[in-house]
Amino acid sequence: MIDFELTPQLRMIKDGAHAIAESSFRPISRKYDEEEHTVAEELKPLAGLITGGMGDMTSKKKDKKKDPGAKKENRNGSTLLSVIGAEEMAWGDNGLMLAMPGSGLGNFAIQAVATPEQLERFGSKFAAMAITEPNSGSDSGSISTTAKQDGDEWVINGEKIFVTDGNQCDVIVVWATIDKAAGKAGIKSFIVEKDRAGCTVTKLEHKLGIRASDTASVVFEDCRIPKNNILGSSEIKTKTEGFKGVMKTFDSTRPMVGAIALGVARAAFEFTKKILEDEGYQFRYGLSKHKLVAVEKEILTMEAELEAIRLLIQRAAWMSDNGMHNAVEASMSKAKGGRMGSEITRRCVALLGPIGYSREWLVEKWMRDCKINDIYEGTQQIQQLIIARGILDYSKKELQ
Ligand SMILES: Cc1cc2nc3c(=O)[nH]c(=O)nc-3n(C[C@H](O)[C@H](O)[C@H](O)COP(=O)(O)OP(=O)(O)OC[C@H]3O[C@@H](n4cnc5c(N)ncnc54)[C@H](O)[C@@H]3O)c2cc1C
């Protein structure tokens, strides 16, 4: 049986996240857009709320404890809770949500693949995720940062760029190769504490949007971390594991990014619809399209798109929580969320004219903010390649 109603627990998460977004994010939204690189002190007291309340992003292990028959039964686990919470938080502010301690993309990576011991050590830390390098973006399998084992430690060397929360975070999940000759199979992820010697933030980007969240370049020079900071198993099976393991993190981070795009787009949509209603427009549901005036058609189409994005995201998250392989669905939800999020926010600016373009309101900001969700964690084009490969059963070599 299919049931699209939110359970009381999911409803509580949604309402709680919305309340935080409305009362804590919206009032300071413009301030931190204008004061880029200023740390939003207002967010610090909220840190516990996001990790403890909004879906408990570190709770995979706990989910299983609560629900030992998990594999056989339908589960609404931490991924679904997180995407529902994220939509609401991003409705408040995309940048502030990312800057909220504990809500970094690295947190989702840790949640996806950490051992119970690592979850214990790092589950409550604010974690950024560093994959991109000066010579490696979309083709993340070509990274050149290295991790060499030396006794009981790993020694990390390399440079990462465009690390979201790279300055404010406590730890960084760093992708590095342990064996260049093994190609992608040699890539693993490592948790590097920011205060380790040899880990240096070298640059902060000035950006179009999400200006409340810092984006940093980080250099690792003979940076030593304990042996058990390798994320996931410390066993090195370069020929069979490695890349597949690190790619698995995207199965939960991509629906999350889609959910963030959805939240921002919904904010712009709701604002636009309200302004138009206040101006006397009426939106007639149930009429055939040719009977609608142009503005009605736009509003109703955008509303339908928002619903479609939500369903895709929640399916991808639900699959993850129920142990199903969801790489294609995760990419679908991010591709649709990223593209339509950008399109809807742009349409809202257009529909509102001067109100859309003025900095007095937040619509122009939502348009700037939303664009990033179509870029990071794999661009629109890369998601489409992954989806096409999945549907057509092509290998990466056959379709690139
Ligand atoms: C604000 C911001 C925050 C970011 N945060 C993070 C972060 O936290 N961690 C992190 O690791 N990275 C982060 N990134 C980096 C981001 O993930 C990369 O920018 C993205 O993966 C694209 O890589 P690239 O910039 O090297 O572009 P390229 O890979 O050079 O791509 C350039 C263009 O070519 C297209 N393209 C590339 N390959 C193909 C192909 N095979 N077929 C068709 N089109 C293709 C791309 O879609 C894109 O449009 C961030 C970036 C920004 C701007």
Per-residue model confidence (pLDDT) at position 252:
85
Residue 328 near residue 386 (C-beta atoms within 8 A): yes
Between the alpha carbon of residue 26 and those of residues 13, 22, 32, 238, 257, the distances in Å are: 18, 5, 11, 47, 20
Does the beta carbon of 379 sit less than 6 angstroms from any atom of ligand 1?
yes
The pLDDT assigned to 238 comes to 52
Q: Is the distance from CB of 263 to CB of 89 less than 8 angstroms?
A: yes
Residue 52 to residue 75: CA distance in whole angstroms:
19
Sheet strands (E) in 228-363? none
Residues with pLDDT less than 70, the chain: 1, 48-72, 233-242, 245
Start-to-end Cα distance in the chain? 39
Count of CB atoms within 10 A of residue 321's CB?
22
Alpha-carbon gap, residue 297 to 387, rounded angstroms: 29
Ligand 1 pocket, residue 137 CB under 6 Å: yes
Give me the half-sphere count of Cα atoms (radius 13 Å) on the Cβ side of residue 91: 23
Which residues, including other chains, have CB under 8 Å from residue 326's CB and lie 6 or more apart? Answer: 251, 316, 319, 320
Distance 275 CA to ligand 1 centre (A): 35
Please report the pLDDT score of residue 195 as a whole number.
97
Identify the burial level of 153 via C-beta atoms within 10 angstroms of its C-beta, where 0-12 means exposed, 13-18 middle and 19 or more buried.
middle
**Per-residue pLDDT reduced to its tens digit, 118-166:** 989 998 899 999 999 999 999 988 999 999 999 999 999 999 999 999 9
Give yes or no for residue 163 CB within 6 A of ligand 1. Answer: yes
Q: Is 382 in the pocket of ligand 1 (CB under 6 A)?
A: yes
Any ligand 1 atom below 6 A from CB of 132:
yes
Q: Which domains does the chain have, with CATH numbers?
A: 8-122 (1.10.540.10), 127-245 (2.40.110.10), 248-392 (1.20.140.10)
Whole-number Å distance, alpha carbon 378 to ligand 1 midpoint, is 6
Per the prediction, the chain carries an average pLDDT of: 90
Which residue puts its alpha carbon closest to atom 37 of ligand 1? 138
DSSP 8-state symbol, 82: H
Counting every residue written for the chain, the total comes to 400
**How far away, in angstroms, is 138 Cα from ligand 1 center?**
5
Task: For the beta carbon of residue 252, count every other beta carbon within 10 angstroms.
Answer: 25
Distance 297 CA to ligand 1 centre (A): 34
Rg (the chain; Cα; Å)? 21
- Contacting residues for 208 by C-beta, under 8 A, at least 6 apart: 368, 371, 372
Catalytic residues: 377
Contact in structure between 128 and 173 (CB atoms under 8 Å) = yes
Which atom of ligand 1 approaches the CA of 138 most closely? 29
Query: Residue 341 carries which DSSP code?
Result: H
Tell which atom from ligand 1 comes closest to the C-alpha of 381.
Answer: 47
Probe residue for ligand 1, chosen from 375, 387, 389 as the CB with the greatest number of ligand atoms within 8 Å: 375
Q: Give the model's pLDDT for residue 235.
A: 61
The rounded Å distance from CA 377 to ligand 1 centre is: 8
131 Cβ inside 6 Å of ligand 1: yes
Report how far residue 98's alpha carbon sits from residue 104's, in angstroms, rounded to the nearest whole number.
6
Cα of 382 from ligand 1 centre, angstroms:
9
246: exposed, middle or buried (C-beta count within 10 Å: 0-12, 13-18, 19+)?
buried
Question: What ligand 1 atom has the least distance to the C-alpha of 205?
Answer: 1
User: What was the pLDDT predicted at 62?
Assistant: 44
Ligand 1 mutation pick, 379, 387, 395, 397, max ligand atoms within 8 A of CB: 379
Whole-number Å distance, alpha carbon 160 to ligand 1 midpoint, is: 13
Sign of CA dihedral 41, 46, 52, 54: negative
3-state secondary structure of 380: helix
Indicate which atom in ligand 1 lies nearest the CA of residue 105. Answer: 8
Pairing verdict, β 171-177 and 215-226: unpaired
For residue 237, CA distances in Å to 178, 204, 243, 295, 307 come to 11, 36, 11, 57, 42
Provide the whole-model pTM.
0.92
- The string of DSSP letters for 349-362 reads HHHHTHHHH-TTSS
Answer yes or no: are the C-beta atoms of 224 and 155 closer than 8 Å.
Answer: yes
Ligand 1 atom index nearest CA of 379 = 47
- For 105, the 3-state DSSP assignment is helix
pLDDT value of residue 70: 47
